[in-house]
Amino acid sequence: MTAPHLRKKDLLSILDLTKEEIDLILNVSDMIRKKYREREPFVPLLGKSLAMIFRKSSTRTRVSFEIGMFQLGGGALYLNPNDIQLGRGETIPDTAKVLSRYVDGIMIRTFAHSEAEELAASAAIPIINGLTDDEHPCQILADLLAIKDRKKSLKGLNVAFIGDGNNVANSWLYAAPKADMNIRVASPHGYEPAKHVVEKAKELAQAGRTQVLITNNCEEAVKDADIIYTDVWASMGQEEETEKRKKDFALYQVNEALVKHAKKDHLIMHCLPAHRGEEITAGVIDGPNSIIFDEAECRLHAQKAVLALLMTK
């Protein structure tokens, strides 16, 4: 398999991808999924290896990348910074150059987005952002695949993101216009997405003739929504803010009353892990409109496509 439509060797941000490249990833995700389910051999990464650097712990990211590499014929190596020299003061550029001699790709899940960028600048192999404080591109590609599975087409769908203007919200703001979708983000005062992210999203929306809305009103965001999306109120690294955030986000819970403002066939999504009774009620997240586990499964399929397209060049 070759990837002539992926211009860059890395996937650090949704902004790295054109609309056509997002479509390509979704189509390849579906193709690989069908081959696997039909037990048709497909091992484009036979003999190749992926280093996985984790500064943040994970369930879905680690398992989906590790199993994805295995199913594509390759192998994955888990690297905790405390177990390698990166945790003892070795520079990121030196780490990138050394790993480039050993493996065929690197996935990093970390705090500062600049670390992923610095890694990419020095590595001779593809770098994949498994999550940073700024973006979560692999999650959003999986989300788009899960939505497309249910809705068949993404064009014109209304996405309501309720909660913190965090990395997932940022990637959604970049992705929705590229996927011909409208995006509304409802956050409490002081927790809105960063100004530069919103400005870029609106620029993309203007070019694609879609809509971006940033509001403090949940009902405004959810009105006639096709997708309602939420995330935890306090992400990793924000544990000391948990109690304050619970108070600040108390009116931003996705509950039975709120979802009544959406379309009847709306989809409930959450990138997980979820805190039932906080950002979302158990009745909604476990209800008939929820696709959270299909969404989680799609991490595997979407990331296999990313791996295959980047690492078979």
Positions marked catalytic? 109, 136, 139, 231, 271, 299
Query: Three-state SS string across 2-33, please?
Result: CCCCCCCCCECCHHHCCHHHHHHHHHHHHHHH
25: left (phi over 0), alpha (psi -120 to 50) or beta: alpha
254: left (phi over 0), alpha (psi -120 to 50) or beta: beta
On the 0-12 / 13-18 / 19+ scale of CB atoms within 10 A, 221 is: buried
φ and ψ of 114, to 5 deg: -60, -25
